[in-house]
Amino acid sequence: MDEFYGGGVYEEENFEFPLFKLVREKAEELDISYHDALVLVKPDYVRSCRYGDEEFEQKSIDEFEEISKQTMANWEAFMKEREGK
Amino acid sequence: MITKPNAQDVKVYECDFLVVGGGDAGCSAAIKAAEEGVKTIILEKANAARSGHSGMGMDHVMDFPREGVSYLDYVKFFMGRHELLGGPGALMNPNVGYILGAKSWWALDHMNKWGYPMRWEDTDDYHWVRNGWFGKKIMIGVHWLDVKPVMAKKCKEVGVEILNRTMMVDLLTDKNGKVCGATGFNVRTGEFCIVKAKAVMVSTCNLTRNYTSETPMHWKYKMRYHGHPGSVSGDGFNACYKVGAGLCNLDLATNWNYRIRDDITIPFGSIDHGDGIRGQWMNAKGEAIPFPTAKMYDEIEKAGLDPIYCTIEHFNDVYQKRNEICIADERFVSLYLGAQRGFNPKTHRYELMENRRFGYYGLSGVYTDENFKTDVEGLYCGGDTVLGLGGCGSACISGIIVGDQMKEYCATAPEPEIDMNHVQDVIDEVYAPLYEEDGTEPMEMESSIRYINDRYVGMHISEGKLKEGLLRLGSLGKHFMPHLMAKTPHDLMRCIEVRNIYDGSILHFKACMERKESRGNFLRNDYPERNPENDNHISVCRLVDGKDTIELMRAPELKPEYLEEGK
C-alpha cells in the first residue's frame, strides 16, 4: 500500500500553463495585477497560435475527422453487439 | 438596522423603458433605446460593469449567417441544435430564430458603433470561427475579457440610469393587466423602490440554482452555472410567470446535461466547436466513444463501461495554446485557478457523471414572438430568459431589437398606474424574514430544494419519484418557507431568490409529470417511448386565475414572408 502514499500511483505532473507563466512573470516584473499583465502579454501569444493559417487548420481538422470516423465505427459495432444480447 | 417601509414612503423612479438585468441583452437594449431619446432605467442585482453572462469574459459571439448560410438555413440550425437533446420537432418559435439571423448584421453594426470589441486588434477584422453544429464559420471569436465595463460605460454615456445592487422583486401591472413597472430592493442598503415604466424588458438569464451547482459542460470553464450565479435564481422567470407570461419546456430543461465530477474544470471553450476539433469522449476502458446522449449513456452504463471521460489530449500544441487563449478570454479566473493547482489539461480526463438536467437554458424560457414581446402587454424579454435563446450573441441581438421598438411603443403606451395596495403586500412579504426568530436560513432552504430536484427527477424519471418529490417540496413550502429568516439586506435578497427557485422547482416537477413520454434526453422509465403526437409542441406553464396550468402548444410555423425573404 505504501506506493499509494506519495509513491506516484496517481500523480499529475506539476504543470503551469505557458500563457499563465508569462502573465505571472510580467505581473511580478511590473508589480501589476494578473489581469493587467494578461492584457500586455496576450497579443504576442495570440500571434503565435497560427490563427488564419487555413492550411494548418484544415490539416488539424482532417486528422480529427479521421479519429471521429473510427470512433463512430467502433460505436456502431458496440451497439450491434448490445442488440445481439 | 433595516426596517419595513411603508409603500407610500418608498422612492419612486419614473421612466419610459425599464430593463431588468444589466447583462448583454439588458445593456444593449438600454443603449439602443436611450440613443433614441427613450428615458431608460436598468435594475441590476449586481454591478452592470461586471454582471451577466459576459461578466467574467467571453471568447465567442454567435451567429452571423454568411458563407452561403441563408436565414432559412439558420432557422434550421436554431431549431435543430435542440432536437438532439429535446427530441425531434420544433420545440420553440422558429420566427425568433429567423429574426436573430436576419437582424444579426444590423445588430453587429450597433455593437461596433458602441465600442464592443468585435474585431481583433492585429488584423482590424473579425476572427471567424466555426459553429461546431453547423460546420460553417459564422461565429466571431472575440477577446471579451473586459466587454462588460465597455457596455456599462456606454450606457452611462447615452444617459441610461443604472440602479446597481438593486434586484427586481416582482413586476407591477395596471388594472388592465398591462405591465407598468417593477418593485426593487437594494441588496446592500435594504432600501425598497418602485420603478414606473411604460414598457419593461426582463433579461435576468434563466433558472439553474434549483439543481446542485455543477459545471454544466466541459467547455464552460470554472463556472458552476451556465450564466452568472446571481442571475440564475429564476427571478425573471418567476416574475414573468406571475403576471401571466408562458414559461416553456420546464420539463425538458436544459440542453447540456452532463455533470462533471472534477472540481477543477479547465476545458476547451469555444475551441470545442469553434476551431473544428472537439474533445474526445471515452468509456472506462479508454475506448473512444461519440458524444453520448442520455440513451447512449444508458447503454454504456448497462454494459458496465461507465464512468465516461472526456479529454483534449489529442489536441496538438498549437490548439492547446488556442485553448489557453479561449480560457483567458472567457474565464481568466479558471486559468489562474488551474495554474495555482498545477492542473494539466493535456493529460487530465474529465469524468462525466450521469446525464441529467441541471437547469433551463436555451431549450426553456419565456415564450415570445419574434419581436421578443411576451403574451403580456408591455412585457418584453431578452437574452437567455427567452425560449430558444442561449449565449451572449443572441442576447445582444435580442436586446437591440427590443430597444429599437421602444421609441414607437412608449409614444403611445398609457401612463403607468401603480396599485399601492399591491406594493404594500410585496413589501410585507419581502421584509417578513426580518421578524423571524430561529427560522430557516435561505441557503439551507436552497440546498434542500436542490437535493429534491437532484434526487427525485434525475436521469431516469418516473411518476412515483415525481410525486414523492412534489410531496417533499410541499413539505418545505408548508413548514419552512413561511419561516425564512434574515438579518441583513443580503439575507433578504437570498430569501427572495429562494422563493423564486422554489416556485420554479414546483413548475419543473409539474411539467415533468405532464410529459408522459420519453424524448431526447428526457427519459421516463414508465413511458419509455416517444409520443410522435407531441412533436412540434412546446410545453407551456402559465398562471391562470391563480392556478398553475400546463399545456402542450403547437409550435408556430415560420411566417410566409420569412419563408420567401430568407432563401
What letter would DSSP give residue B246?
Answer: P
Q: Does domain B258-355 have CATH number 3.90.700?
A: yes
A64/B339 Cβ within 8 A:
no
A74/B339 Cβ within 8 A:
no
Percent of chain B with pLDDT over 90: 65
Q: Give yes or no for residue B222 having a pLDDT over 50.
A: no
B336/A61 Cβ within 8 A:
no
The distance of B452 to chain A (nearest Cα, Å) reads 34
Q: Which residues contact B412 (CB under 8 A, 6 or more apart)?
A: none
Q: For B34-51, how does the pLDDT look when each residue is reduced to its tens digit (9 = 90+)?
A: 999 999 999 999 999 999
Q: Compare CB distances from A50 to B278, B318, B332 and report the shortest one's residue.
A: B318
Residue B299 with chain A: CB contacts under 8 Å? 78-79, 82
Q: For B101-142, how does the pLDDT look when each residue is reduced to its tens digit (9 = 90+)?
A: 999 999 999 999 999 999 998 889 999 988 777 778 899 999
Interface predicted TM-score (ipTM) of this complex, two decimals:
0.88
Test the A interface: residue of B144, B293, B335 with most A CBs within 10 Å? B335
B324/A45 Cβ within 8 A:
yes
A46/B122 Cβ within 8 A:
yes
Q: How far is CA A78 from CA A81, B64, B351, in A?
A: 5, 39, 21
A15/B342 Cβ within 8 A:
yes
Backbone region of residue B181 per phi and psi (left: phi > 0; alpha: psi in -120 to 50; beta: other values): left
Q: Give yes or no for residue B266 having a pLDDT over 50.
A: no
Q: Which residue of chain B has the CA closest to A75? A: B289
Residue A51 with chain B: CB contacts under 8 Å? 127, 322
Indicate the domain borders of chain B: 13-252+358-419, 258-355, 424-554
Residue B280: per-residue pLDDT = 83
A19/B328 Cβ within 8 A:
yes
CA pair distance B189, B382, nearest whole angstrom: 28
Test the A interface: residue of B312, B332, B340, B347 with most A CBs within 10 Å? B332
The size of the A-B interface in CB pairs under 8 A is 104
Q: Which residue of chain A has the CA closest to B281? A: A71
Q: For B412-423, how does the pLDDT look when each residue is reduced to its tens digit (9 = 90+)?
A: 999 999 999 999
Mean pLDDT of chain B: 90
CA pair distance B372, B383, nearest whole angstrom: 9
Q: Does domain B424-554 have CATH number 1.10.10.10?
A: no
Q: Which residue of chain A has the CA closest to B334? A: A20
For residue B40, give the nearest of B196, B148, B184, B194 by alpha carbon.
Answer: B196
Q: Reduced to 3 states, what is the DSSP secondary structure of residue B257?
A: coil
Residue type, B279: G
User: To which CATH superfamily is domain B13-252+358-419 assigned?
Assistant: FAD/NAD(P)-binding domain (3.50.50.60)
Q: Compare CB distances from B325 to A35, A49, A82 and report the shortest one's residue.
A: A49
Q: How confident is the model at residue B221 (pLDDT cuts 50, 70, 90)?
A: very low
The dihedral of CA B265, B270, B275, B276: what is its sign? positive
